[in-house]
C-alpha cells in the first residue's frame, strides 16, 4: 500500500489518473472511500485529472499519527503530504465536511498554489453549539425496504440519511460507515478538544472557481453558515439542494456529478 511519511504521520494515499492534480479530503471519522465513491464517477468521461485520495490522521489506513494533537497539526500533515506528492505543481482541492475546513486552512497560506476548490457539506463553524442547523428529518423512504431493517439499523440510518432506501443505505454503508469503522476513536476525541484552528480563516478573497454544495436538510453542519463567507469567494457557485442531508453526495448523486463537472469546466476555462 502506498504511504507518504510526513513529520507527524505516515499518510495512506491512492492516486488515480494523469493530469492536473486534484486532492480529495474526507470528513471527520470516515476514510478516502467516501471521496472515491462520489468523485470517481465524475471522471468516467473526463480525462486529464490526477486524483489524489488521502486518509487523514487517525482515519483509514494512515499510521504513526499519535503526536498530532489538534487541527493545526492535522492541517500541517495534509500540507506536507501535498507538497511531498506533487511538489511545485498547482492543484485543486475538494473537501467534505471537516475536509472543507482543512481546505480553507490550506487557502490561508498557499492560495497561489490552488487552482480552485469544491466544498461538499463543508464544516464552517467548528463549535457545534454555534452552528445553525435544521433538525434531522426523513424526506423520502421506501416502506418495503424499511420493513426489512432491525430497529437498530433503522435508528442508525434515520440519524444520518434523509432518503431511506436500499440503494442509498448500501452506498452509505460502503462509502461512509466502512471507513468510520477503521477510525481511532480516542485519537479523534483528542482532536475534537482542539477542533478549531488557532488562527482565523477566510480573511482573504479567493478569486478562483469554487463550488459549495450544501444540503437543505443537513443536520450536522447545516447550510446557512456557509453564506457568512460567500463574499470571500467571488467565483463560487453556492448550491443548496433539497432532499439532501450531510450525505448529499449520495442522496443527490446526479446533481452532484453535474455540478462537479461544471465546476471542473470553469477551472479548465480559468487555467487555459
Would residue 253 count as lying in a domain?
Answer: yes
Question: Grid coordinates representing 11?
Answer: 499518510
Q: Which positions of the chain have pLDDT values less than 50?
A: none
Q: Tell me, what's the pLDDT at 272? A: 80
- Angle of the 98-110 helix axis to the 71-85 helix axis, nearest 10: 70
User: Does residue 218 sit within a domain?
Assistant: yes
Please give the Cα distance from 75 to 191 (Å, whole number): 12
CA distance 108 to 52: 21
The answer as to whether 177 is a domain residue is no
pTM exceeds 0.75: yes
Total domains, the chain:
1
| CA distance readout (Å), 213 to 118, 147, 158, 250 | 8, 32, 21, 12
What pLDDT does 224 receive? 98
In a 3-state reduction of DSSP, which class is residue 110? helix
Residue 169 is assigned to a structural domain of this protein: no
What CATH code is carried by the domain that includes residue 266?
3.40.50.1820
pLDDT, position 4: 98
Nearest Cα neighbor of 81 from 180, 175, 15 is 15
Q: Do the Cβ atoms of 3 and 12 come closer than 8 Å?
A: yes
In a domain, 212, yes or no: yes
Would you say residue 107 lies in a domain?
A: yes
Residue 87: inside a domain: yes
What pLDDT score was predicted for residue 138? 97
Where do we find the cell 448550491?
239
For position 79, what pLDDT does the model report?
Answer: 98
Range of the domain at 117: 3-133+183-271
Amino acid at each position: 500500500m502506498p504511504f507518504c511519511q510526513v513529520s507527524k504521520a505516515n499518510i495512506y494515499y491512492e492516486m488515480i489518473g494523469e493530469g492536473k492534480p486534484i486532492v480529495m479530503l474526507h470528513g471527520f471519522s470516515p476514510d478516502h472511500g467516501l471521496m472515491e465513491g462520489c468523485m470517481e464517477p465524475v471522471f468516467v468521461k473526463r480525462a486529464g485529472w490526477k486524483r489524489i485520495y488521502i486518509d487523514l490522521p487517525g482515519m483509514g489506513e494512515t499510521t504513526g499519527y499519535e503526536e498530532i494533537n489538534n487541527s493545526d497539526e492535522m492541517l500541517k500533515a495534509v500540507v506536507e503530504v501535498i507538497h511531498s506528492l506533487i511538489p511545485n505543481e498547482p492543484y485543486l482541492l475538494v473537501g467534505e465536511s471537516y475536509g472543507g475546513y482543512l481546505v480553507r486552512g490550506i487557502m490561508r497560506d498557499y492560495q497561489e498554489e490552488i487552482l480552485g476548490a469544491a466544498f461538499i457539506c463543508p464544516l464552517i463553524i467548528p463549535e457545534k453549539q454555534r452552528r445553525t442547523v435544521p433538525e434531522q428529518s426523513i424526506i423520502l423512504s421506501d416502506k418495503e425496504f424499511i420493513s426489512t431493517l432491525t430497529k437498530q439499523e433503522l435508528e442508525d440510518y434515520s440519524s444520518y440519511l434523509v432518503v431511506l432506501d436500499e440503494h442509498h443505505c448500501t452506498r452509505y454503508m460502503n462509502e461512509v460507515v466502512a471507513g468510520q469503522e477503521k477510525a481511532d476513536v480516542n485519537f479523534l476525541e483528542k482532536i475534537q478538544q482542539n477542533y478549531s484552528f488557532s488562527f482565523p480563516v477566510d480573511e482573504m478573497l479567493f478569486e478562483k472557481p469554487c463550488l459549495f454544495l450544501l444540503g437543505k436538510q443537513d443536520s450536522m453542519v447545516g447550510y446557512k453558515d456557509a453564506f457568512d463567507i460567500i463574499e470571500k469567494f467571488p467565483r463560487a457557485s453556492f448550491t443548496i439542494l433539497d432532499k439532501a442531508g450531510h450525505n448529499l453526495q449520495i442522496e443527490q448523486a446526479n446533481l452532484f456529478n453535474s455540478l462537479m463537472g461544471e465546476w471542473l469546466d470553469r477551472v479548465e476555462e480559468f487555467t487555459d
